[in-house]
A and B are shown apart, each in its own frame.
Chain A
Amino acid sequence: KAGVTQTPRYLIKTRGQQVTLSCSPISGHRSVSWYQQTPGQGLQFLFEYFSETQRNKGNFPGRFSGRQFSNSRSEMNVSTLELGDSALYLCASGTEGSRSTEAFFGQGTRLTVV
């Protein structure tokens, strides 16, 4: 069974640009969550999607957005990139949004903003 796949693995962007990250969940999983990991703030929840609907959102500015497609694949977008957006972005998928008790994580996308 394939795991959670995140693309790309590494990304370098310039301040002011925008970026789109992709996450393909485990087959059959309908819940996808996104997290940002930085040395200073640790692992922080961005948002969760279930069946194409955003169920929860963390405390991030509106520059961070996401969506989920009918095949459960998810994308997150960051507009007007800032240096502080440099981080490891992790995606997790679960079996069901309200009852998922185990999140399977991908290897992440490491974003560097210069």
Chain B
Amino acid sequence: AQKVTQAQTEISVVEKEDVTLDCVYETRDTTYYLFWYKQPPSGELVFLIRRNSFDEQNEISGRYSWNFQKSTSSFNFTITASQVVDSAVYFCALSEAQTSYGKLTFGQGTILTVHP
């Protein structure tokens, strides 16, 4: 069965600090997708990134970057020069080809607070 673990329950940083959110996953499927979502206080889950199991190339998008390592089953997310608006709950999620890409398994989430 698939599982996603976000060991960090809460992280607190001061604005302009870099912060890395950890995500470790378990799956028996060889074809799967990994996601990061952001949930601001409004409640809507905002899509940040998707990575498939065959693409280990790391990605940078503005202040965001992602480090996918199949060898350690990790998909970590870094925010560079954090801002107060980055304060939210961040979720890592997994979907598998064998079940359905429409079924996401989420981690418990990491509450990020960025102080001015």
Residues of A at the B interface (CB closer than 8 Å) are 31, 33, 35, 42-45, 48, 50, 55-56, 58, 88, 90, 92, 94, 97-108, 110
Contact = CB atoms under 8 A, between A and B. Distances in A.
SS class of chain B's interface: helix, strand, loop or mixed?
strand
B44 A99 contact: no
A88 B41 CA distance: 12
A101 B43 contact: no
Interface stretch (B61-69, B71-79, B100-108): B100-108
B100 A97 contact: yes
Interface in B18-61: 33, 35, 37, 42-47, 50, 52
Contacts of B44: 105-108
Contact of B102 (A43, A100, A105, A110): A100
Interface in B92-116: 93, 95, 99-109
Main secondary structure of the interface of A (DSSP, over half): strand
B90 interface: no
B103 A48 contact: yes
Contacts of A90: 43, 45
